[in-house]
A = this chain, B = another copy of it.
């Protein structure tokens, strides 16, 4: 019935062409909201909480409670928490802790800090996150990429070997800034900032970082003493080759590589038999325990095996007094904080979202930012460095069947206990084992199939990926990021600066007008040139280009006709400009349209504007351009404009 009604309607419309839709609809459109009104609306819907407005009628205590529930999701699910769920969470948390302890020590080493600081970072941030975060799987703590990033950037300000205390102070301050930036992003709903690092850039960046981290581990694996501070491949490799000329201790390499093989074997088994997921998860801890025992029992440390040595026992110490807000390098520190904040968020949200999708719920990016931000702020006050969601541990958490963030709490408590109990034991842990644990985590960061998929789908995205990869590898982390973001944005800019101007043709027997390149069967009407501007803005950056391109198109069509020696009767008389994709126009755009109108008029060509949008129409009215182009040359659709022109021509032919 619907289609019949439709037929009837359009028939009616065609039967009464006297009733001009232009005057009926186009002119009667309401004024678009002003910039100010839109700004107010945006602020109201995006920055201020919307939910509070809705619950106007409820009592104030209820409102406070619902506000608290929105900030602390634990209040929501905590009441429905059951003992059955806790069993699962307990198991997951313990598995998580067994992976987390060796990884934390290794990553702390990568970050240029003593081992206990990695463990601290696995205590406070997960506890804070568990009250505020909305992901159920995300395992919070130190991660490889952020550790590398932090050490490579903070090292420029302060060498960790010459003055570890000053270095730590800067790290805390960076962590504070990272947390503050993350919280601010969440508070002001600036979640889109995370999107600036596209998926392709992230794949390239992660792969580059993984290789750089891997090369850095050669120091631990070979037990080298002298090593470069730089992170690029050339410096690291030359440093390795240089060091190998000096005497080195092969025992380190034997221990490290044999346990690396053990961990990789465990992972292979875990991948083959999904139920045995706990084998790869436990392998690092087993390696640490075994290696430590071996060193302890054989006194291998006397034979050149480097060991972790003293780890301070006890819980996190407060570090409020160590924040360096008076530092002359504060600007630089804040910049490092900003970069770390974005990288940490990007990783956490990417990981969190992919697992949320598997379980069928959605993560609110802004809330996640708030949760991670406060976790890191709290961390910076309790001797932690930047924490975020770890990919490898989140996967283990998921496989271990976690139900809620309680698994994070279990993990944090386990780490806390081990800080009290295990530190003495960790004295004899060989550093080579830490290197092999980090190395074993790296293949997960290199997503070759993802890169291939990107190559197939979008060559420019692949360029971004390669730029990020090579930038990280051969220059520095910052250069890699800058290149990737730069290319990504250059592409967006290019589409605005050099928009497509497409010639349209009618698809036979319909009212549909399509790009003649896309639809080669589309028919151009003689004497008419229909062009579509494919840019959301007709503005300073493209107005001249668009005007010139349109004039050039007119010239080309006329030249073709000259060559074909068609009678002058068919020369272009009307240029129809389909502005259906143009959302806004600025002063330069208005000037360009005026000039276009004048130039065409001086060649006896009429400029017709089809389907102008709300704001564009309003601007044209304001600029009095409407009067120049004349109202009868503004149409609601291309089809209408073409039909009107055909009618006029037919009439004038009849008159001749």
Contact = CB atoms under 8 A, between A and B. Distances in A.
Interface of A: 1-3, 6-7, 9-14, 17, 21, 25, 29-30, 32, 34-35, 191-192, 195-201, 357, 360, 362, 365, 453-454, 456-461, 488-489, 491-493, 495-500, 507-512, 514-515, 517-521, 534-537, 539-545, 580-581, 583-584, 586-588, 590-591, 595, 598-599, 602, 613-614, 619, 622-623, 636-637, 643, 646-647, 649-650, 653
B586 A461 contact: yes
A21 B510 contact: yes
A622 B458 CA distance: 10
Nearest to A519: B25
B512 A595 contact: no
A3 B534 contact: no
Given A7-B14, A195-B544, A496 B507 contact: no
Contact of A495 (B1, B199, B583): B583
A587 B453 contact: yes
The 6 A-B residue pairs with the shortest CB-CB distance in the complex, in nearest-first order: A2-B646, A198-B540, A518-B614, A581-B581, A9-B509, A1-B650
A493 B495 contact: no
A519 to B, nearest CB: 6
B21 A507 contact: yes
A9 to B, nearest CB: 4
A195 B580 CA distance: 24
B10 A14 contact: yes
A648 to B, nearest CB: 9
A643 B200 CA distance: 39
Contact of A10 (B10, B514, B653): B10
A168 to B, nearest CB: 36
B587 A457 contact: yes
A2 B492 contact: no
28 contacts: A2-B646, A3-B646, A6-B511, A7-B14, A9-B509, A10-B511, A21-B512, A25-B514, A25-B519, A34-B459, A192-B497, A195-B541, A195-B542, A198-B586, A198-B587, A357-B595, A453-B587, A461-B587, A493-B493, A496-B496, A507-B636, A511-B511, A512-B636, A515-B614, A518-B614, A534-B536, A535-B536, A536-B581
- By secondary structure, the A interface counts as helix
A458 B357 CA distance: 43
B583 A541 contact: no
Given A492-B541, A493-B492, A643 B461 contact: no
A502 to B, nearest CB: 9
A161 to B, nearest CB: 33
Given A199-B587, A587-B200, A650-B1, A192 B544 contact: yes
A576 B520 CA distance: 26
Contacts of A453: 587
Given A192-B544, A511-B10, A643 B2 contact: yes
Given A10-B511, A17-B3, A580-B580, A622 B459 contact: no
Given A29-B518, A492-B537, A512 B545 contact: no
A290 B182 CA distance: 69
A195 B536 contact: no
A83 B240 CA distance: 80
A535 B534 CA distance: 9
Contacts of A507: 21, 25, 636
B499 A489 contact: no
Contacts of A512: 21, 636-637
